[in-house]
Amino acid sequence: MELWSAAIDAMRAEARATVAVAVPFMRELLGVEGAPDLDGDLVAQARSMRQQFAAFDAAVPEGVDQEIAGVRCRVFRRPTPARAIYVHLHGGGMIAGAPEVSDAANRDLGARLGVHVVSVDYRLAPEHAHPAPIDDALAVVVWLLDNGERDLGTSRLVLGGESAGAYIAAATLLRLRDEFGAAGDIAGIELTYGVYDWGRSPSQRGIRPSDSPDVLSPEGMAFSAECYLPGRTDDERRDPSVSPAYASLSGLVPAFFAVGTADHLLDDTLLLAARWTAAGNQTELFTLPDMPHAFTGAPCAMTEAWTAARFRWLDTICNSA
């Protein structure tokens, strides 16, 4: 079983050197140093983290606010007919983040692929716990399936997100299948270092195959879980309606997974990708040895290789009938 190629393995020394510099910087910027207080004021702590994340907000003029199904979204429209609509869900541990953090990336993705991009400003925990963020994403997706052709010239959708956003994308697809019988109306789903086991997988608990540093920590993951799923035990958090890794995965769409082996969410991706494949769905997995959570903030040859593979997959999905 080969999780990465010899060519990727040859990039590890440079990747580790990049991570050693990038991760402390990212942890400081995100304000995740030190353990959060699970017995303290969760709302106050979450709002403090949001203020840190706000430093990454960088709205670009090409993005336009539009309310879709009662949910604020950032929309990037192509000036010419688009091949598809990429529905983006941002990261932030379920408690922070905003579409504007990804404005530049979404603008560039739309231009490169010739797609419209709709980034969903879903509600955040702990003020809005499960299933509020998924409700918001599902409402937007259903509206776009029904109205995308009229409003944006196409109803062909691709779902995608990173971290918490990847989780919401996966959970949304499952509900689209179970509640609307419409999972097949989605062309594909891109899932980048998501959390799929809210019952705390081994890597979430700190049991990782790499000693390279990470942005996440077991304490930070526990804090996000308590904000999003308050008062539930680990077993209760593994209910299939909460944790996609434990759901039936039959009848789903092609998926592109990506994760680093130093990520505290490594096992979540490995489990979901393996079960996605076993259920008979098309699956592509890109594993980055020694790379952390949020590896997109550590530019090097390895992340460039992931970018190339990602766009090849997206281009194929957008072109498929």
pLDDT of 32 reads 73
Q: What count of other Cβ atoms lies within 10 Å of the Cβ of residue 75?
A: 20
The verdict on residue 79 lying in a domain is yes
Structural domain includes residue 100: yes
In the chain the beta strands, taken as DSSP E runs, fall at 64-68, 71-76, 85-89, 116-120, 157-162, 186-192, 255-260, 283-288
Residue 321 has pLDDT above 60, yes or no: no
Range of the domain at 141: 6-319
As a whole number, mean pLDDT of residues 176-203 equals 97
Report residue 29's pLDDT band, with 50, 70 and 90 as the boundaries: confident
Q: Is residue 98 situated within a structural domain?
A: yes
314 located within any domain: yes
CATH number at residue 25: 3.40.50.1820
| pLDDT recorded at residue 49 | 85
Mean pLDDT of 169-192: 97
What confidence tens digit (pLDDT) does each residue in 94-110 have? Answer: 999 999 999 999 999 99
Which residues are within 8 A (CB) of 126 and not within 5 positions of it... i.e. 6 or more apart? Answer: 42, 43, 46, 95, 226, 227, 228, 230
Domain count, the chain: 1
Separation of alpha carbons 135 and 146, rounded Å: 17
1 belongs to a structural domain: no
The pLDDT of 160-165, averaged and rounded, is: 98
Which residues have CB under 8 Å from 238's CB, separation 6+?
197, 198, 199, 245, 246
Please determine, for residue 35, whether its predicted confidence score (pLDDT) is greater than 80.
no
Question: What's the rounded mean pLDDT across residues 127-151?
Answer: 97
User: Are the C-beta atoms of 270 and 259 separated by less than 8 Å?
Assistant: yes
Site of tokens 């944790």: 243
List all residues 6 or more positions away from 139 whose beta carbon is below 8 Å from its beta carbon.
68, 69, 70, 71
pLDDT value for 233: 97
Q: Taking residues 99-125, what's their average pLDDT?
A: 97
What mean pLDDT do residues 256-273 have? 98
Q: Assign 52 to helix, strand or coil.
A: helix
Sign of CA dihedral 240, 246, 249, 250: negative
Is 57 among the domain residues? yes
Asked if 320 and 187 touch (Cβ cutoff 8 Å), the reply is: yes
The tokens of 312 are what? 């090849």
- Summarize the confidence of residues 142-162 as an average pLDDT: 96
- For 207-252, write each residue's pLDDT tens digit: 999 999 999 999 999 999 999 999 999 999 999 999 999 999 999 9
Mean pLDDT of the chain: 95
